[in-house]
């Protein structure tokens, strides 16, 4: 199961509208059109990876929380992700409670 499908299954029990993108370029297009309240972003994607997409998403929505998922947990990678503007970093594969906790933290940040 892809990370995108796993996230979709985890979030299905919550009353949230889900928008999907299969790569970083499509994520930018969806973001620009829909202005979502938060983003779950994988680092490893075709066309445009998360390292390139993340700062562009932050330009489009500077206050939008972005949760980055990656299996690369090296400190330099995590530091780079956070420096690029991620709100949270999650190690892949995440567990469902971790995903739901990240969702709650993002929604709480949006409410402030």
3-state secondary structure of 13: coil
Q: Residue 53's pLDDT is what?
A: 95
pLDDT category at 93 given cuts 50, 70, 90 is confident
CATH number of the domain bearing residue 39: 3.40.50.2300
Q: Residue 4's pLDDT is what?
A: 79
Identify whether the C-beta of residue 27 lies closer than 8 Å to the C-beta of residue 57. Answer: yes
Q: Residue 2's pLDDT is what?
A: 75
**What distance lies between CA 103 and its chain's CA centroid?**
10
pTM score of the predicted model: 0.91
Q: Tokens 């090296």 appear where?
A: 74
Over the stretch 1-60, which tens digit does the pLDDT of each residue have?
Answer: 477 788 888 888 888 888 889 899 999 999 999 999 899 999 988 899 999 999 999 999
Q: Residue 46's pLDDT is what?
A: 86
Domain count, the chain: 1
Closest CA to 2 of 56, 40, 36: 40
Domain limits for position 102: 3-111
> What tokens does 20 get?
């999907």
* DSSP string over 33-87: HH--S-EEEES--SSS-HHHHHHHHHHH-TTS-EEEEES---HHHHHHHHHTT-S
């Amino acid at each position: 199961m892809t990370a995108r499908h796993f996230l979709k299954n985890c979030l299905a029990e919550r009353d949230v509208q889900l928008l999907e993108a299969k790569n970083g370029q499509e994520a930018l297009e969806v973001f620009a059109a829909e202005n979502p309240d938060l983003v779950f972003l994988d680092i490893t994607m075709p066309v445009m990876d998360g390292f390139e997409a993340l700062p562009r998403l932050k330009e489009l929505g500077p206050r939008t929380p972005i949760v980055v998922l990656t299996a690369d947990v090296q400190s330099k990678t995590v530091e780079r992700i956070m420096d690029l503007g991620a709100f949270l970093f999650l190690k892949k594969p995440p567990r469902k409670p971790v995903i739901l906790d990240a969702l709650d933290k993002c929604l709480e940040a949006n409410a402030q």
